[in-house]
Amino acid sequence: MAHLAHYREAHPLAYVITHWINLISIVVLSFTGFVIHFPFLPGIMGICRGTHMFFAIVLVGNMLFRVLSSPFIKSAPAMGTREQVRDIFSFLPQKDNRHQLIPWIKYYLFFKKEHPLSGKYGVPQKLAYLLVPCLIVFIAFTGLCLWVPTGNWFLFAWVTDLVGGIHTIRLIHYLTMWGFLIFTALHIYLSIANGLAPLRMIFFWKEHGGKVYDVKIRNIVGDDPLDDHA
């Protein structure tokens, strides 16, 4: 057992909830999107269009809350610690992650045998998570170019013209969804690859023991089997 202890401090309840909302929204949006792209379930086509818009608003609102609340809500900057700082610091460059990008890549490609030390998120993980809000903004923007009530607004119409018309925007919107699907596949694989314990934390807010990381020393300092929580 090599993983770090997972404490609730790492994922405050608010962010466990936003994670659930993201999960549901992305699943619903992808499914309804596929139906709109090609009505393989014709009877629910109309419902899908309304639902797609509703969850698009939910996803964007959720993303805005997640991003804008991060300077105010506190969370642990690393796994295996109960120390908390403002959550945004977990998404900015951390000393804990310095010079660790290459070791991480080597680790994932089996060129490095030991698990790299890191902050709450490993370097590739942090980059992937930072990409998600960008993807949401991008796909929402292309969605608004397509949506009839907003498609004629100057900004959206201008971008639609720029890329080659509504057909091309549809294409970009569709391919961006595949970006989400691929991200989700990687995300699920890597979370399972690192044991099921972290999943219990992010979904059900259940703690589990493991190694203890000291945020001041920036290294592992011991073990915490977390018996009294088990």
Partner 1 sequence: MLTKRSSSIPGSTRSDCVETNTIITTTCSSGCVGQSENVDRLEGMLAERGVTRRKFLELCAAVAVSLGLSELFVPTIQEAIAESIIGKAEGRLAPVIWLELASCTGCTESFAQAGNPDAATVVLELISLNYSETLSAGAGFSLEEAKEQTIAKGGHIVVFEGAIMEGWDGNALRIANEKNTEIVKHAIHNAKAIVCAGSCAVDGGWQAAKPNPAGATGVQRFLQKALAAGEIDSIPPLINVPTCPSNPEHLVAVLIDVLLLDTLPELDRHNKPSLLFGQFVHDNCPRRGHFENGEFVYKFGSEEEKLGYCLYPLGCKGPQTKNNCPIVRWNRRVSWCVEAGAPCIGCSVSNPKNTTHNWVDSNAPFLKRFRTVRIFGYTFSPVTLAAATGGLVLAALGVHGIGWKITGRFDGGAPFETERAWDLKNPSKAASRTMLQVAAKTDRALSAQLIKEDSLDSYFEGVVHAAAKTKAASLTKVDEVIEAAAADKAAKAAAAAADAAAAAPATSAAEASEKVEGGE
- Closer CB to partner 1, residue 36 or residue 137? 36
**3 state DSSP class of 6:** strand
Tell how strand 210-214 and strand 74-75 pair up. unpaired
Looking at residue 75, the DSSP 8-state letter turns out to be E
Q: How far apart, in whole angstroms, are the C-alpha atoms of residue 141 and residue 157?
A: 11
The only residue of 21, 88, 199, 220 in contact with partner 1, by rule CB under 8 A: 220
According to CB under 8 A, which one of 10, 63, 87, 96 is a site residue for partner 1? 96
Asked if 148 contacts 104 with a C-beta cutoff of 8 angstroms, the reply is no
Per CB under 8 A, the list member of 57, 68, 130, 185 interacting with partner 1 is: 185
Report the SS3 class of residue 212. Answer: strand
Judged by DSSP in three states, 105 sits in: helix
Angle in degrees, 0-180, between the axes of helices 166-193 and 13-37, rounded to the nearest 10: 140
C-beta of 88 vs 220, nearer to partner 1: 220
Residue 149, interface with partner 1 (CB under 8 A)?
no
Nearer to partner 1, 5 or 59 (CB): 5
* 2 sits near partner 1 (criterion: CB under 8 A): yes
Whole-number Å distance between alpha carbons of 107 and 117 = 11
* Per-residue tokens: 60: 């964007």
Read off the amino acid at residue 227.
D
Does 153 contact partner 1 by CB under 8 A?
A: no
- Rule CB under 8 A: choose which of 68, 98, 111, 153 binds partner 1: 98
Nearest to 199 by CA among 115, 212, 190: 190
Shortest reach from residue 217's CB to partner 1, in Å: 4
Binding mask 3-32 for partner 1 (x = CB under 8 A): x-x---------------------------
- Binding residues for partner 1, rule: CB under 8 A, are 1-3, 5, 37-39, 42-46, 81-83, 95-96, 98-100, 103, 107-108, 110, 112-117, 148, 157, 161, 164-168, 170-171, 174-175, 178, 181-182, 185-186, 189, 192-195, 197, 210-212, 214, 216-225, 227-228
